[in-house]
Amino acid sequence: MTVEEERLRRLLTTQSAEIPTGVDRVDMLHRRIARQRRVRAAGVAAAVLLATTGTSVGLVTRQPADSTPSPMASMSSAAPAPTVTATPVPPPADELLPEYLRGHRRILAREMTLPRQSSITFTFTPQTADFQLGIRCDARLGADSAPGRSDHLIQVTVSKAVIGTGDCSSSPQRDAMLVDAGMNGHYYRWSDLGVRAGKPVTVTVKIGKPVVADNRDPRPGDPSHLTGTMAVGVYTPVPFEQFPIPPRPAELVDLDTAGELATGNPGQPFPDQLGHLDARTTASPNGSHQLDLAMPLQLDIFICAVAPGRIRVLVDGKEVERRAFYDWTGECWTGGALAAEYDLPPKFKVPARTGQRVTVTVIADSFTVPGWRVGLARGAGS
């Protein structure tokens, strides 16, 4: 399953039902299905996550890639700003970015400290095209920053192509975000940007006050009002069996509490209007579990877990979702499947039309406790 296919499926929940006439429908959907919802709950206090995995991310348009990147490693910064003594002492990059993060391992880390430095550039040679970039801000740039001092834009450029933007001040989440070429719902793969295993890749991350000119996408501007440290790193995937799963805590996060946040709106019931499967009511938390339903035009799929393990979801034998959970903090993902008559290429759809009965199969493995649930609901416009 391609990155493009997976991302389109899991981002369907934010689709608008109204698509203007005279506009290419696929292109419009690609631009408007721009956010993935992800929820993590830590004990009673749960945090709502947006974007690929981290800071809130806005929709931007891809800028064209130029020539291949220079193999020379470098560190760059914007024009010098008045020096400000940073307090407290900023943590090193390898403390801001954990070594292991959501199925990946950090292979390098760099950092920049504002306002002295507002951009960072480095070149590395990937051994696999399946890498991701890790980005994390310290508390001074994040949710704990002083009111009115956190308006900033993060811009990520790889091989001279802007892959997306973000803002680490508007999300309460504490983890680093992991991004790839599909940042901001672009549905790109690294290969689309000319990235190849064994070929040097140049990454640039900038931060500053948003600037908009001539109807172009916002870009980072003046960073002098910002104080803090941001770390940028590269992560490569680790096989699930080799990932260092943390020990089981004395008390698990309540699965119902985590499920209430599946829609991103605390207090709303778990979305399962068309049915659900719950490990707490099955003979085993692992194995294959099925239910039948009438296929809507768009099927929304909500997957929550409070324990490490893996989940696959199939509709009439076609895999539409695949998720892995690596800790005990509580986490939810949203995804979807489309009926056969939906106006998108076949690879995004299941072999059933609206109203036809389908079998939804949930395959779970590696769970040591009954700590997952899957809800099925009718999507927007169905």
C-alpha 224/C-alpha 344 separation (Å) is 46
C-alpha 43/C-alpha 106 separation (Å) is 27
pLDDT class of 2 with cuts at 50, 70, 90: very low
Q: Which of 64, 234, 222 is nearest to 153 (CA)?
A: 222
C-alpha 58/C-alpha 34 separation (Å) is 8
Of 118 and 140, the one with more pLDDT: 118
C-alpha 323/C-alpha 102 separation (Å) is 11
What is the structure's pLDDT at 222? Answer: 87
Average the pLDDT over 188-200 and give the result: 92
Q: For 240-273, what is each residue's pLDDT tens digit?
A: 999 999 999 999 999 998 888 787 777 788 999 9
| pTM greater than 0.85 (yes/no) | no
DSSP assignment, residue 54?
Answer: B
Average the pLDDT over 1-24 and give the result: 38
pLDDT class of 147 with cuts at 50, 70, 90: low
**Would the pLDDT of 44 be above 70?**
no
What is the structure's pLDDT at 170? Answer: 53
pLDDT class of 71 with cuts at 50, 70, 90: very low
Residues forming a β-bridge with 214: none
C-beta separation of 123 from 74 below 8 A: yes
pLDDT class of 1 with cuts at 50, 70, 90: very low
Encoding tokens for residue 146?
Answer: 């002083």
**Would the pLDDT of 303 be above 90?**
yes
Report the amino acid identity of residue 259: G
pLDDT class of 278 with cuts at 50, 70, 90: very high
Host H or E run for residue 257: helix 255-260
C-alpha 233/C-alpha 131 separation (Å) is 10
Q: Which of 3-12, 111-120, 144-153 has the lowest mean pLDDT?
A: 3-12
pLDDT class of 343 with cuts at 50, 70, 90: confident
Average the pLDDT over 167-189 and give the result: 75
Burial of 75 (0-12, 13-18, 19+ CB in 10 A): exposed
Handedness of CA 290, 350, 332, 128 (dihedral sign): positive
Q: For 81-136, what is each residue's pLDDT tens digit?
A: 333 333 456 678 878 999 999 999 999 999 999 888 999 999 999 999 899 999 99
C-beta separation of 182 from 188 below 8 A: yes
What is the structure's pLDDT at 177? Answer: 87
pLDDT over 70 for what percent of the chain?
A: 72
Of 185 and 123, the one with more pLDDT: 123
Report the amino acid identity of residue 254: D
What is the structure's pLDDT at 373? Answer: 97
What is the structure's pLDDT at 53? Answer: 31
pLDDT class of 66 with cuts at 50, 70, 90: very low
Q: Which of 33-37, 126-130, 150-154, 191-195 has the lowest mean pLDDT?
A: 33-37
Burial of 68 (0-12, 13-18, 19+ CB in 10 A): middle
Residue-wise burial string across 179-215, b where 16 or more C-beta atoms lie within 10 A, e elsewhere:
bbbbbbbbbbbbebbbbeeeebbbbbbbbbbbeeeee
Report phi then psi at 114, rounded to 5.
Answer: -90, 150
